[in-house]
Amino acid sequence: MFHKEGQKIIFTSLILVGGLFLLIDFIETPWLIKTLQICLLVFFILILQFFRNPKRHTQHNDKHVISPVDGKVVVIEEVEEPEYFKDKRLQVSIFMSPINVHVTRYPVSGKVVFSKYHPGKYLVAWHPKSSEENERTTVVVENQKIGKVLYRQIAGALARRIVNYAKKDMNVVQGNDAGFIKFGSRVDLFLPLGTKLNVNLDQKVKGGETIIAEL
């Protein structure tokens, strides 16, 4: 199953790869033909892998914050959140490599009270300034049990487009599709201080399933 955001790219890649396969047939060197064919197949498989959208089994729970994306936990710290809360929050950052699933999912159910897009730079996603200077979107969902949870999609060095489906005043469901980040990125979660975390640094997490924190 592939994400709808990848349909045009997959189709274009298929046409491109198919056309190049036909052109390769005119080459008279057998080993070169085989090498180019393998390279084209690997390229197309990587495109398919990047836009895959596996079904996830979310256990809905208003006392849990689930991981919005697949990846590795790279930051756990108390920070000043300057855009929306303007106070101290517990930040959990998840880095996605190009081989991870890049679908973003809602970490909690509730009402979207804030959603904003910011154009910006394309620093590597693990850069300390990427959360403030890169292209990004900030979304805040208010949950009846946990309160307000902020997640921020951040474009990386390869990413050139962030897709965000969250609109202000929408009612959203934990684990449902919230957007997509194309080609390498990171997501930051900002939670209330005192939230009990269920993850550690360098832990791999799965979007829609791994419980990041609980009330």
Q: Is residue 99 part of a domain?
A: yes
Q: How many domains does the chain have?
A: 2
Domain span at residue 187 reads 64-214
155-175 mean pLDDT: 84
What confidence tier does 184 reach under pLDDT thresholds 50, 70, 90? low
Non-local CB neighbours of 46 within 8 Å, separated by 6+ positions? 98
Residue from 93, 109, 130, 185 carrying the catalytic annotation: 185
115 and 26 within one domain: no
107 and 35 within one domain: no
154 and 179 within one domain: yes
Instruction: Output the six-digit token pair for 36.
Output: 């180019």
190 and 131 within one domain: yes
Q: Is residue 17 part of a domain?
A: yes
192 and 165 within one domain: yes
Sheet strand arrangement including 211-214: 64-66, 211-214, 196-197
What confidence tier does 158 reach under pLDDT thresholds 50, 70, 90? low
193 and 133 within one domain: yes
139 and 95 within one domain: yes
Active-site residue 131, yes or no? no
181 and 96 within one domain: yes
pLDDT greater than 60 at residue 19: yes
Instruction: Report the chain's mean pLDDT, rounded to a whole number.
Output: 87
Q: Is residue 177 part of a domain?
A: yes
What pLDDT score does 9 carry? 79
194 and 123 within one domain: yes
Q: Is residue 55 part of a domain?
A: no
User: Closest by alpha carbon to 181, among 131, 137, 119, 139?
Assistant: 137
User: Closest by alpha carbon to 98, among 53, 135, 50, 48?
Assistant: 50
